[in-house]
Amino acid sequence: MVVDESDHAVLLAGDSSYNQELMVRGAVDGVAPDEDAARLTIQRIQTFARERPTVYLVAHDPETGARLAERRVVNLERSQ
């Protein structure tokens, strides 16, 4: 789910990755039932976040709450 907050988006990404770092690296975590679908999902998230400042929130990342509170957008510069 994407929440539009005018100058950035908040992406409620559920279990798309275990944490933000794995998504930034493009890594598929070990519990993905379909590795190809998971890889495609991560690529789509990366594309979205490159096109629009995005706060990335996933269910199991301990930093999710802090990123939301600070509206800290994901930095994909190092993964390009």
Q: Does 78 score more than 60 pLDDT?
A: no
- Given a cut of 80, is residue 79 above it in pLDDT? no
Is the entire prediction scored with pTM above 0.85? yes
What's the pLDDT tens digit per position in 17-73? Answer: 999 999 999 999 878 889 999 999 999 999 999 999 999 999 999 999 999 999 999
* Residue 29, pLDDT score: 85
Instruction: Give residue limits of the domains in the chain.
Output: 2-79
User: Quick check: helix, strand or coil at residue 7?
Assistant: coil
Tell me: pLDDT of 80 over 80: no
Residues 6+ away with beta carbon under 8 Å from 50: 76, 80
48-77 burial, b at 16+ Cβ within 10 Å, e below that, comes to: ebeeeebbbbbeebeebeebeeeeebbebe
